[in-house]
Amino acid sequence: MKIKKGDKIRVLTGKERNKDGVVVSVQPTKGRLIVEGINLTKRHRKPQRKGEKGQIVEVNAPINVSNVALLCPKCAKATRVGYVVNDSAKKERKCKKCNAIIS
Q: What value does the mean pLDDT of the chain take?
A: 94
Dist. CA 94–CA 79, nearest whole Å: 10
Helices then strands, each counted (H, E), the chain = 0, 11
Question: With 90 as the cut, is the pLDDT of residue 62 above it?
Answer: yes
Q: What is the DSSP letter of 54?
A: P
Q: Which residue, 71, 67, 62, is CA-closest to 97? A: 71
Cross-strand pairs, 32: 27, 64
pLDDT in tens, 13-57: 999 999 999 999 999 999 999 999 999 999 999 999 999 999 999
Question: With 90 as the cut, is the pLDDT of residue 71 above it?
Answer: yes
pLDDT band at 86 (very low <50, low <70, confident <90, very high): confident
